[in-house]
C-alpha cells in the first residue's frame, strides 16, 4: 500500500492507495505543533482505525507547502513506518513542464494538482484549488504549466469579514437560496459565496481570453470548492481527491510504473 500526504496551510490530508484504488483518507490540522513522535503515533492510530496494518504501508510520498513541519513529519515516517518518504519538489519526475518565470516558486500542491488533472482529464485545462488560498493554474495541451493566479481563499475572506468588523458574527459558509438577503447572516453568506462565484467565472473567462486557448476543461478541487462548482457552469468537474490522486501518479512516475 502507498501512503500519500498533502501538507496544506490548514490541513494535512492523508490517503491510502491499494494499487490504483484510494481505500481511505483522513485529515489532521496543520497548525497544531507536533513532535515526530506525536506525528508518528497519530498516523499509526489513524491507520489502525481504518484497519490498515502499519506494516502494509510500503511507500510514502509527501507534497508540502509548510516547510516548518517537514523535519518532524519526515522523521515520524522514518521512525514509525521504517520508510524514507519521497518529497515532491524541484527535480521530482512529474511529467509536467513548468515554463513560468521561476519554476521553483510554484507550490508542490499546485504541481501535484496539475499532474493529476492533466493525467486524468487531459489538456488544455484550468485547475482550480479552493484551499486556504484559491489557485487557478493553466496547463496546455502538451502538459506545460503556463501560468497561475492566486487569490485569498473563501475562508480567509470570511475570517477577515467577521474578525475585522465589530458587529458581524462568524457564520457557516454556504450558498443562500437568493442573493436578495433580508438579514445579516444570509447577507454575509450571499456576499461571500456569490462574490466567489463571480470571481471564479471572471478569472476563468480572462484566462481563456488572454491565453487564446479554446475548448479548455476546468477541473476544481479543495474543501469548499464543491459549493462553488455546483453553482457555476464554468467548472466541468469537481474532484475532491485530486491532490491525493496526483501524489499517486507522481509516485508511479518516480518508480517507472
| Cβ atoms of 225 and 200 closer than 8 Å | no
> For the chain, how far is it from start to end, CA to CA, in angstroms?
14
Rg (CA), the chain: 19
Chain-centre distance of CA 79, in angstroms? 27
Question: Active-site positions?
Answer: 109
CB atoms within 10 A of CB 30: 20
Query: Where do the H-state alpha helices sit in the chain?
Result: 36-49, 70-81, 108-121, 154-163, 184-211, 225-229, 242-254
Which bin fits 35, alpha (ψ -120 to 50), beta or left (φ > 0)?
Answer: beta
SS3 label, residue 215:
coil
DSSP 199: H
What b/e readout covers 137-158, taking b as 16+ CB neighbours within 10 angstroms?
Answer: bbbbeebbbbbbbeeebbbbbb
Determine the Cα–Cα distance for residues 135 and 169; give it in Å rounded to an integer. 27
CB atoms within 10 A of CB 4: 29
| Cβ atoms of 97 and 90 closer than 8 Å | no
Amino acid at each position: 500500500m502507498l501512503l500519500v500526504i498533502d501538507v496544506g496551510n490548514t490541513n494535512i490530508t492523508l490517503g491510502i492507495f491499494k494499487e490504483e484504488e484510494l481505500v481511505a483518507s483522513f485529515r489532521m490540522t496543520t497548525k497544531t505543533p507536533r513532535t515526530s513522535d506525536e506525528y508518528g503515533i497519530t498516523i499509526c492510530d489513524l491507520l489502525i482505525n481504518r484497519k490498515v496494518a502499519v506494516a502494509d504501508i510500503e511507500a510514502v510520498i509527501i507534497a508540502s507547502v509548510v516547510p516548518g513541519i517537514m523535519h518532524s513529519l519526515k522523521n515520524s515516517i522514518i521512525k514509525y513506518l521504517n520508510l524514507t518518504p519521497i518529497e515532491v519538489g524541484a527535480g521530482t519526475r512529474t511529467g509536467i513542464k513548468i515554463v513560468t518565470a521561476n519554476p521553483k516558486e510554484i507550490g508542490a500542491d499546485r504541481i501535484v494538482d496539475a499532474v493529476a488533472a492533466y493525467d486524468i482529464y487531459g489538456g488544455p485545462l484550468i485547475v482550480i484549488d479552493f484551499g486556504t488560498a484559491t489557485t487557478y493554474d493553466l496547463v496546455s495541451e502538451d502538459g506545460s504549466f503556463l501560468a497561475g493566479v492566486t487569490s485569498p481563499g473563501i475562508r480567509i475572506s470570511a475570517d477577515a469579514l467577521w474578525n475585522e468588523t465589530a458587529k458581524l458574527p462568524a457564520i457557516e459558509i454556504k450558498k443562500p437560496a437568493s442573493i436578495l438577503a433580508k438579514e445579516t447572516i444570509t447577507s454575509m453568506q450571499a456576499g461571500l459565496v456569490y462574490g466567489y462565484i463571480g470571481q471564479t467565472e471572471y478569472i476563468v473567462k480572462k484566462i481563456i481570453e488572454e491565453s487564446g486557448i479554446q475548448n479548455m476543461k476546468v477541473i476544481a478541487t479543495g474543501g469548499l470548492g464543491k459549493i462553488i462548482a455546483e453553482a457555476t457552469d464554468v467548472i466541468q468537474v469537481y474532484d475532491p481527491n485530486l491532490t491525493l490522486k496526483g501524489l499517486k501518479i507522481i509516485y508511479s512516475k518516480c518508480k517507472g510504473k
